[in-house]
Chain A
Amino acid sequence: MKTPRVDHLRIFGSVAYAKIQEERRTKLEDKSQKCILLGYRQNLHGYKLYNPMTKKVIMSRDVKFDEEQEWSWNFEDQPQKLIVDEEQIQKDEGEIMLAPSASTNSPTGPSSSTTRKTKSIQEIYDVTERINLDDVNMLCLFSGNDPITFEEAYQEDRWKKAMKEEISSIIKNNTWELTTLPEGHNAVGVKWIFKTKRNAEGEIEKHKAKLVAKGYKQQYGVDYEDVFALVARMETVRLMISLATQKRWKIFQMDVK
């Protein structure tokens, strides 16, 4: 078996610089935007990043990471602080001449907000605050948060309620009866699946719990024989549309809940 590649993995929460495509910027604009690493794109190469300045989550493949750094929240929350008056600049320029190494080691990296390099390292330490735990928790909200295991879901009332609904619908449908397992038979396992249903606006509509059977444990000939279900070919669907138009009929649609 091939070993999965892990060389794209980066430290969660580290500072990332996502390249802005040339077509998307003018010559004088920033070549990259500074973000925080949230995770990885599903099924595709690339990273999921959060830009606290624009408050947007972006996907990008062309990213450079600074894993040594964390986002300095306090500093970025108040961008007005960055407007340095001329006097200050002059003063700082003097400092740079005196201590050039201090400015190049600027801990926030070469982002737009710090390209002026007008602050001494001590000043930057003064305005920078370590990322606090609440903010990290806030970041976690951006990743998918449906519980995976029963134990996880059982902690929360909304999922408990969803499970109760599913069980009562199973009982109402007369899906099963309780018996003792006869010798020579295997019981197929069941598993809870939890899903948050969202509407078109992305608002949470309902929490849904579904009980599914672990069909992969079934044995052919013992637990099941026929498996196929018929589906219509696309040509049939188109034929129906064509027939309906010719005859000026309307086509209706229904689905099962």
Chain B
Amino acid sequence: MNGNLKEVVYVEQPAGFVVKGEEEKVCRLKKALYGLKQAPRAWNSRIDGYLSQKGFIRCPYEHALYVKKSLQGRVMFVCLYVDDILFTGDDPTMIQDFKQSMVKEFEMTDLGLMAYFLGLEVKQCSDGIFISQTKYATKVLKKFAMEDCCPADNPVEYGTKLTKEGEGDLVNPTYYKSIVGCLRYLTCTRPDILYGVGLINRYMEKLRSSHLKTTKWILRFVKGSASYGLFYPSS
């Protein structure tokens, strides 16, 4: 995934591969190298250029989304996530052509039907699409050493009232915030914990054990419901 560089950048010769007799020389980059500040940008410009040339139009409100309409009125959607791409459409031959051209142009790997994307597990079947984040939820529980916790029946304990002041001892804010961050990502397929996450989200200062308790309660709920997700029925 090396885009073309528009800036002039020089890098040292890599250790172990210095050209004999030319030790003083440096490498002028033509393509971006991983780690360069502009590497992602250069990649995006390259793939954007390629898609435009292929007749795709970028959505003016969401620049990662591209649409192409064929002369026969067939459509195709492409969604970019840096080096991951998703696409769908109503014309199988158009999709096949697109796949082949991407493999040729960018050395892409065809992963077939969308099944795992950014922690999102996708199951595509005849009566609809099911998305869940089971693996991600398990990972989160493990990260916070909650993999063996006792599952809770509800996302928020009945009668929970959080205040700015809170109760109990002060807790490590970084720890608390990282749980909140993980839970926020989990809300992607879990609208049922959205209320609880919204609640703990309001408190980010002077965090006390009462705040952390509510946060961990949500984790305990997730423990008992890690396989829950969203189902989009076709009809």
Contact = CB atoms under 8 A, between A and B. Distances in A.
Note whether A and B form a binding pair: yes
Interface of B is mostly: mixed
Interface size of B as a range: 35 or more
B111 interface: yes
B87 to A, nearest CB: 6
B65 interface: yes
Interface in A144-189: 150, 154, 160, 163, 167, 173-181, 185-189
Contacts of A225: 7, 38
Contacts of A181: 10, 25-26
Given A178-B25, A252-B88, A188 B12 contact: yes
A211 B33 contact: yes
A44 interface: yes
B176 to A, nearest CB: 14
A98 interface: no
B17 A163 contact: yes
Of A163, A212, A232, A238, the most chain B CB neighbours within 10 A belong to: A232
Interface string A242-257: 1111111111111111
A27 interface: no
Contact of B11 (A189, A233, A241, A245): A189
Contacts of B7: 223-225
Interface stretch (A47-55, A100-108, A133-141, A213-221): A213-221
Contacts of B159: none
A246 B77 CA distance: 14
Given A227-B41, A236-B62, A252 B112 contact: yes
B79 interface: yes
Contacts of B13: 178, 190
B128 A256 contact: no
A192 interface: yes
Contacts of A188: 9-12, 36
Nearest to A221: B7
Given A255-B111, A257-B107, A249 B90 contact: yes
Q: In which size bucket is the chain A interface?
A: 35 or more
A176 B11 contact: yes
B31 A232 contact: no
B99 A254 contact: yes
A107 B134 CA distance: 47
A249 B115 CA distance: 14
Nearest to A219: B37
A28 interface: no
Contact of A257 (B30, B109, B143, B188): B109
Given A190-B12, A213-B35, A215-B37, A245 B233 contact: yes
Interface in B23-68: 24-31, 33-41, 43-44, 62-65
Given A179-B26, A247-B90, A227 B109 contact: no
Interface of B: 1-2, 7-17, 19, 22, 24-31, 33-41, 43-44, 62-65, 77, 79-90, 95, 99, 102-103, 106-115, 117-118, 120, 122, 124, 128-129, 131, 143, 145, 148, 188, 230, 232-234
21 contacts: A174-B31, A175-B29, A177-B28, A212-B34, A214-B35, A218-B9, A224-B7, A224-B37, A231-B82, A232-B79, A237-B79, A237-B81, A237-B118, A240-B65, A240-B79, A240-B86, A245-B233, A246-B232, A252-B110, A256-B83, A257-B109
Interface of A: 21, 43-44, 46, 61, 150, 154, 160, 163, 167, 173-181, 185-192, 210-215, 218, 223-234, 236-238, 240-257
Given A238-B188, A251-B87, A251-B124, 6 more contacts: A177-B28, A186-B10, A192-B15, A234-B188, A240-B86, A254-B99
